[in-house]
Structure 1
């Protein structure tokens, strides 16, 4: 599933193409929004919040989308073959005179009043890629998870929003924390969250996650040379792979 860095880059692309422009075509191929017409409105901007996208219009409405596992947005010149958006995988089309944004395989789509955005993202924890992060709120939500394995707490969007399997693994590796340690045993959760935030920010800029542990099964650890292993966070059907170094990230001694 795309993580917060991908959503931020997607929001930036949509923002660059659409903001300040009048919508000349709107096609929302979603049962609850199929009759919504945004033609004639001007786009105020798009921002990401965790793994969610919010595109706001000057009539007081917001298009909320979530990519889930396979979704993505692409921007094409209006009038080009790609902008025709004839694929059955297309779920949303927003066009201006110059650019057409096409949402493929979207996993969630709502149109809400901008003042009601809380109804679709209000359950989420602080966005780690926000201009500011409410650290006290994040730590309060962390503490409420008690002895839940730390990898699962990092993946919980109701604790902090934006971390997925990549940045859960990479931040834990950076801090040498065993992924299944109890969250309430982590000496400094604020430090771990700050590491994850910094990694996400760097990936937004570079387009590349750290790549030190995630996806490197059986390859040598970049620190100690031990073959990288993979375990499971959460239970089916919500299980997620977590890569780790068995030597650098050993369980704490009992």
Structure 2
């Protein structure tokens, strides 16, 4: 699933293309919205909210879209070839005389009065990249569930909005925290959240996402995508496991040495530890 910085960058580019312009084409290719036509509407602004993208119109309506795992917005000059996928993957087309914004495989597409945006995104925690970022509120929400696994809690958009799996595993590694540690056992929770935010801030202005400071492919991440490869700090092989509620599991990479557990770990955790039968308890 795209990280919050990917959505932030998409919103900036969409805002540059659409803000202040009147649509000459506003087409939906979704059964529930197929009868709607936004042609003639003026776009006021495009803003991100966590992993949601909000297109606010001058007539006080808001179009919300979400990328989920496979969605994307592509921007073309009129007459340019669209190359985001086959035509049947197009969900929304918003065009001005100068730009064509084409939404592929978009999810949660909904048009609501702007006054009702909270119905769509009001449940989200503080936006990591938002202008109203509130660290203390994010920490309060995380700490309100002390028994939750930190790797699950930091992905819960109700606690803080924008962090995805990449920044979860990379921030946990840099903070030396085992992904399956209880939130209540994490002593440096503020440092963890601040680290995740700093990584996202560093990457938000370009599509490449590096956490090591080296953009070269294969050297850009500490643990993500590196199962079995030596830790860049201690040379211990990186482990891979699954974490999260049933049907919502996310793959999780970590270094068992740099992120050694300092408190009891959920005995049912699917950690993928080698040569140890499941269930497992680490200390």
Same fold judged by TM-score > 0.5? yes
Give the CA deviation at 1:136.
2.5
1:39 matched residue in structure 2: 39
Give the CA deviation at 1:19.
1.2
Give the CA deviation at 1:209.
3.1
Q: Which protein is richer in helix relative to its size?
A: 1
Give the CA deviation at 1:36.
2.1
Give the CA deviation at 1:132.
3.2
Give the CA deviation at 1:86.
7.1
- Which moved further from structure 2: 205-214 or 189-198? 205-214
8 Å Cα contact 1:138-1:160 kept in structure 2: yes
1:209 matched residue in structure 2: 210
Describe the shift of the 1:244–1:86 C-alpha distance in structure 2 as closer, same or farther (beyond 3 A): closer
1:252 aligns with 2:253: no
1:9 aligns with 2:9: yes
Relative contact order, CA 8 A, sep 6+: which one is greater?
A: 1
Aligned residues: 253
Q: Secondary structure at 2:47's aligned position in 1?
A: strand
Where in structure 1 are there 5+ consecutive unaligned residues?
none
Structure 1 residues 1-254: aligned runs within 5 Å? 1-82=1-82, 87-206=87-206, 207-210=208-211, 211-252=221-262
Whole-Å separation in 1 of the counterparts to 2:159 and 2:168: 13
Q: Secondary structure at 1:109's aligned position in 2?
A: strand
Deviation string, structure 1 residues 20-57 (Cα, Å, up to 9, x no partner): 11100011122332222221121111111111000111
Structure 1 runs, 4 residues or longer, greater than 6 Å off: none
8 Å Cα contact 1:69-1:107 kept in structure 2: no
Deviation string, structure 1 residues 72-113 (Cα, Å, up to 9, x no partner): 010011223329x97000000000001000000112100011
Q: CA RMSD in A?
A: 1.5
Q: Secondary structure at 1:92's aligned position in 2?
A: strand
8 Å Cα contact 1:200-1:209 kept in structure 2: no
Whole-Å separation in 2 of the counterparts to 1:170 and 1:226: 16
Give the CA deviation at 1:114.
1.0
8 Å Cα contact 1:32-1:110 kept in structure 2: no
Whole-Å separation in 2 of the counterparts to 1:32 and 1:189: 43
Q: Give the structure-1-normalised TM-score.
A: 0.95
Where in structure 2 are there 5+ consecutive unaligned residues?
212-220, 264-282
Whole-Å separation in 2 of the counterparts to 1:10 and 1:81: 19
